[in-house]
Amino acid sequence: MEKIRSPFRGIIEDLKGRSACYKQDWVNGFHSGYRILAPTTYIFFASALPVIAFGEQLSRDTDGSLSPVESLASTAICGIIHSILGGQPLLIFVVAEPTIIMYTYLYNFCKKRPELGKKLYLAWAAWVCMWTAFLLIILAIFNACTIISRFTRIAGELFGMLITVLFIQEAIKGVVSSKFPKTRKARSWRYGTGWFRSFIAEYGVPLMVLCWTALSYTIPSKVNSGIPRRLFCPLLWEPESLPHWTVIKDMGKVPIVYIFAAIIPALMIAGLYFFDHNVASQLTQQKEFNLKNPSAYHYDVLLLGVMQIPGLNNSFQSWFQTLICGLLGLPPSNGILPQSPMHTKSLSVLKTQMIRKKMVKRAKESMLQHASNSEIFGRMQAIFLEMDRSSPRAVDNELRNLKEAVMKSDGADDAKENFDPEKDIAPYLTVRVNEQRVSNLLQSLLVGISMCALPVIKMVPTSVLWGYFAYMAIDSLPGNQFWERVFEGDHASFMESVPFKSILIFTAIQFGYLIICFGVTWIPIAGILFPLPFFLLIAIREHIFPKLFHPEHLQELDAAEYEEISGTPR
């Protein structure tokens, strides 16, 4: 209540925290050099391919009123704005499935009303965006994002699993079956040279998209030309794509009653975006990633609202932000799952690789110079301090096990023989994320450029897109404790302190709730209200779970892992 009575407080705190590390966000990106291209390419495909698929779905459902062109444009523009002005630059903005469902509902509503019809569909949708933006800005001003701290591990895991199930559902709808090689683990393969394994691990996914697209053109000529089915979308310069860009001129033609009626769908969209965007941000910054920079929930929701206002022209945004939504007739984008946490994971691989590589190099140099054990460790520690910018005390604690590995033998010669920098450093390094803005900016620019490459994109078989949906779903599962608790052999430390019966009951409840949430998405029209069960979960977690589980066991199973990260500006 105190924060509600202090409007703008959350936004001001977010701006202070993020402005202190804004310069470092760019420095970190440029210091990565060419290595930043691997996570950039990875997340570009993770953004562009689903957006194209959703855009084609939207084109079918709206009789061509919208197409992949508009979806790509929205994703690119919102992504560029957020990567430059956003609070949490690791968030990936994409036109997502809930937006497609909502815009389809708006189109069907307009079709049934002669006063609107297909002609004023986008104009009325622009008014919906106006009201949505107003509601999101109000939520940001009055610090509504504080409720996100009430979501514990179970909520984050359930939402992540729900998105995974929805992605697999879309993949199954498109193709009967697909097989995906685990190229992300290629670095541990026993065959091939080091550079080859790294190349496959970093660029395997885009290579497979290109390879399967090329193979689709080797089909014998006797096969029907419609097999495999390929993307259908108008090109950027074709007449079908032109009317959308100036839809703001039609907003005044919408009857006044429908302008105010637009508040109703706006309430649903605002609630959906508020939840989806914040949970995506929360999972992008989860504790396991060890992020150093502070969060910016309130400011990001404010920016999300501002980016949806058609034709707004004030101090909050420059001219290009006036193009979002209404003025260009674009479906809105927001921070989503699973792309946002996937982005953080890819950057954690990059940062850890960079630290490990330099530490290995320094250790080998020290061993050639016949340095003592303590000197070898001291030089590696100096490299870690230089690259991580943590406090010396924190680094001492973190590298304690590595120090023991280096110093494990009293005989200096034996220690050097037993300690292999290539193999023995990596296991002792915790996750480190290269927190920067460059990869998000580059991938957003690539999405924008892809609008001009539609003649090439139209060559991709739709089955490849749906296969990629399944790959994204599977690739997002590692790290989800619910998934690992059910299917994996390696479990967390709670297995030793929590009775198996409690773990079984907790997992069964979680699984049952997942089925309920998935069932809600199948309800016609009301399916867009699927975030409601997650808000209800707050009350269940606080009032019912404590009666079912011992407090210590509940803390182990469902600790508040995803609270806002206070961080320390660097």
Terminal CA-CA length for the chain: 31
Looking at the structure, tell me whether residues 264 and 405 fall in a common domain: no
Looking at the structure, tell me whether residues 44 and 142 fall in a common domain: yes
Distance CA 121, CA 110 (A): 6
What is residue 418's predicted lDDT score, i.e. its pLDDT?
67
Looking at the structure, tell me whether residues 510 and 393 fall in a common domain: no
What is residue 569's predicted lDDT score, i.e. its pLDDT?
39
**How many helices, marked H, and strands, marked E, lie in the chain?**
26, 2
- Whether 309 is covered by a domain: the verdict is yes
What is residue 446's predicted lDDT score, i.e. its pLDDT?
93
- Structural tokens at position 117: 């019809």
- Whether 569 is covered by a domain: the verdict is no
What is residue 28's predicted lDDT score, i.e. its pLDDT?
86
Looking at the structure, tell me whether residues 421 and 543 fall in a common domain: no
What is residue 496's predicted lDDT score, i.e. its pLDDT?
63
Identify the DSSP state of 219.
S
- Whether 1 is covered by a domain: the verdict is no
Distance of CA 20 to the CA centre of its chain: 24
Which of 412, 428, 444 is at the close of a domain? 428
What is residue 301's predicted lDDT score, i.e. its pLDDT?
83
Looking at the structure, tell me whether residues 228 and 343 fall in a common domain: yes
**3-class DSSP state for residue 268?**
helix
What is residue 444's predicted lDDT score, i.e. its pLDDT?
92
Looking at the structure, tell me whether residues 370 and 456 fall in a common domain: no
Which residues span the domain enclosing 383?
A: 350-428
Neighbours of 398 (CB within 10 A): 17
- Whether 541 is covered by a domain: the verdict is yes
Neighbours of 62 (CB within 10 A): 23
Q: Are 42 and 410 in contact (CB under 8 A)?
A: no
Which of 371, 399, 428 is at the close of a domain? 428
What is residue 315's predicted lDDT score, i.e. its pLDDT?
32
What is residue 564's predicted lDDT score, i.e. its pLDDT?
36
CB neighbour class for 112 (10 Å; exposed up to 12, middle 13-18, buried from 19): exposed
CB neighbour class for 13 (10 Å; exposed up to 12, middle 13-18, buried from 19): middle
What is residue 244's predicted lDDT score, i.e. its pLDDT?
60
- CA neighbours within 13 Å on the CB side: how many for 369? 12
Distance CA 40, CA 534 (A): 32
Looking at the structure, tell me whether residues 277 and 366 fall in a common domain: no
Q: Supply the mean pLDDT for the chain.
A: 75
Looking at the structure, tell me whether residues 94 and 136 fall in a common domain: yes
What is residue 313's predicted lDDT score, i.e. its pLDDT?
36
Neighbours of 355 (CB within 10 A): 21
Q: Give the position of tokens 């016949």.
A: 370
Domain tally for the chain?
2
Q: Are 163 and 338 in contact (CB under 8 A)?
A: yes
Q: Are 65 and 121 in contact (CB under 8 A)?
A: yes
Question: Which residues pair with residue 94 across a beta bridge?
Answer: 334
Looking at the structure, tell me whether residues 329 and 398 fall in a common domain: no
- Whether 4 is covered by a domain: the verdict is no
- Whether 176 is covered by a domain: the verdict is yes
Looking at the structure, tell me whether residues 222 and 116 fall in a common domain: yes
Listing DSSP states for 456-496 in one string gives HHTTSBHHHHHHHHHHHHHHT-TT-HHHHHHH-S---THHH
Which of 369, 400, 428 is at the close of a domain? 428
- Whether 568 is covered by a domain: the verdict is no
Task: Name, in order, each residue with C-beta under 8 angstroms of 540's C-beta and a sequence gap of 6 or more.
Answer: none
What is residue 234's predicted lDDT score, i.e. its pLDDT?
66
Looking at the structure, tell me whether residues 544 and 408 fall in a common domain: no
pLDDT < 70 regions, the chain? 1-5, 170-171, 173-205, 216-246, 306-328, 349-350, 389-391, 409-418, 479, 487-496, 524-530, 559-570
Looking at the structure, tell me whether residues 475 and 400 fall in a common domain: no
- Whether 391 is covered by a domain: the verdict is yes
What is residue 243's predicted lDDT score, i.e. its pLDDT?
60
